Amino acid sequence: MLSSVIRQVNGHLVKSNICASPLNPVYYQTVRWRRKPRWLPTARSKMFRVPERKKLPFNEYEELKTLFNNYRTEMKSLREYFAGQIKDSTNQSGNLLDSAEEYGEGHRKCVEINEQWNAEVKQLREQTLAKEKEVELQEILDTIEETRIKMEERQQHIEEIVRLEKERAKSYITEVNVEEAIDKALENSVDYNFAIDLQGNFFHGKNTKPPKISSPSTTEEPVEVAVNT
């Protein structure tokens, strides 16, 4: 909405020659915060200007002079000290060869000791690796033996299942003995019905009648009734 209004105002101003360029909705101003570049020449207003040299107070000048004298004295002492150290070291250059020989002998002894240590560590490492290899080999053999035993037990279990299924297969009803199984089931019918009285006696069979009891007794044992087939 705002952009459309600005567009209409710009068009009206341009048509009326009030403003040659359209209005900018965003007002901005460029500010340079950096110093003047080194490659630019001196400004004309400062070309022949001679800066006035600042005059220090007498007390401050004396203090700076004292500090500078102290600094110069200390630096001179340091230079002389270092020069003496270098001179002494050059005078002792004859002892440097002896020191180099002693250093070489010490280095040779250190190398021999290091080689001896390396040999001991190598021997110890080989022994450790041999023991670890034996342990790993024994673990592999144990794993193979356990796997073999488990496979044998599994095979025996499978054979037992197969044997039981073969035994059960003898009683299966097939197309050959289906008529014989039907005749046997009709001849030997089984009644799975049963009843329970208040004393907890079971009466198996649908047509079984409970026995006649003259008087109830709490100490009476349950009466067993034959199955009525």
Residue 77 domain-assigned?
yes
Token pair of 147 as six digits: 């796997």
For residue 31, being part of any structural domain is answered with: no
pLDDT surpasses 90 at 147? yes
Please indicate, yes or no, if residue 140 is contained in any of the structural domains: yes
H helical segments located in 45-92: 58-91
Average pLDDT over residues 82-93: 80
With contact defined as beta carbons under 8 Å apart, do 225 and 203 qualify? Answer: yes
174-188 pLDDT, tens digit per residue, is 888 888 888 888 888
What is the number of domains present in the chain? Answer: 1
Dist. CA 29–CA 38, nearest whole Å: 25
Strand 202-204 and strand 194-196: the pairing is: antiparallel
Beta strands in 164-224 (DSSP E): 194-196, 202-204
Interatomic CA distance for residues 49 and 155, integer angstroms: 114
Q: Residue 181 domain-assigned?
A: no
| 32-73 pLDDT, tens digit each | 667 888 898 988 988 899 888 888 899 999 999 999 999 999
Which domain covers residue 147, as residue numbers? Answer: 58-169
Within a domain: 124:
yes
Q: Is the pTM here over 0.75, yes or no?
A: no
Query: Which stretch of 19-28, 32-41, 151-160 has the lowest confidence by average pLDDT?
Result: 19-28
